[in-house]
Amino acid sequence: MTDVGLFYVGAVLIVNGIMLLGRISARAAAPLNLCVGTLQVVIPTVLIVTTDGGGAAIAGAAGLYLFGFTYLWVGINAATGWPPEGLGWFSLFVAVAAVGFAARTWYDGGRLFVVFWLAWAGLWLLFFLVLALGRTELTRFTGAVAITEGVLTAAVPAGLALAGLWIDSAAAALAATALGGTVVAALWLVTRPASIDASTPARQG
């Protein structure tokens, strides 16, 4: 994924997370989704056309299309009022594919982006649960995770790369994994549905 594209992926994940938290409407988020989705479709197409068509170029383009199609679909659904179930099932496809891209990244020598790909797999799995299976009790948690990943797996890494400050290492990947796990656990505690708390049996004193 290009640094510029990743930077704007951060922006759209943050905005979509705010949408899932109910702070803005889907129609209000539609323009950014359409713009970033178009960017994430045009860039890989240009990469394929202008390179020798090698395996690395094709694999990189395939990853970009996953996100581009997602954001275009979000924007189109918001503009048309189409139901979200189709996008939800596509999100499951993206989640599974992201695990494969994590493995490919590991094979290519990347470490931090292995963590990022797995984080994106988890987020798109949440999209599947909310949009396709109707698990609306997970909506706030999904929104919070989207905002967090928009910052930590997209906007900040892209900003560091654009500034020439990006460093990838196994130690950094381990630190990112520990930080990510801690943050996700904290987000769940803050956003978990009240019904889950209410269903927990009270202790007998």
- The answer to whether residue 14 is domain-embedded is yes
- The answer to whether residue 203 is domain-embedded is no
- The answer to whether residue 33 is domain-embedded is yes
The answer to whether the beta carbons of residues 63 and 101 sit under 8 Å apart is yes
- pLDDT confidence of residue 50: 81
- pLDDT confidence of residue 203: 45
- Backbone phi, psi, residue 92, to 5°: -65, -40
- The answer to whether residue 205 is domain-embedded is no
- The answer to whether residue 202 is domain-embedded is no
Question: Which DSSP symbol is given to 58?
Answer: H
- The answer to whether residue 73 is domain-embedded is yes
- 188-202: average pLDDT: 67
- The answer to whether residue 153 is domain-embedded is yes
**Residue count of the chain:** 205
Tally of domains in the chain = 1
- The answer to whether residue 198 is domain-embedded is no
- Distance CA(16)–CA(64), nearest Å, equals 18
Say which CATH number the domain at 43 has.
1.25.40.600
Q: Give residue 40's domain range.
A: 3-193
Taking only the tens place, the pLDDT of each residue in 149-193 is 999 999 999 999 999 999 999 999 999 999 999 999 999 999 987
- Whether residue 205 has pLDDT greater than 60: no
pTM of structure: 0.91
Taking only the tens place, the pLDDT of each residue in 83-99 is 999 999 999 999 999 99
The full DSSP string for 87-151 is HHHHHHHHHHHHHHHHHHHHHTT-SHHHHHHHHHHHHHHHHHHHHTS--GGGHHHHHHHHHHHII
- Distance CA(100)–CA(112), nearest Å, equals 15
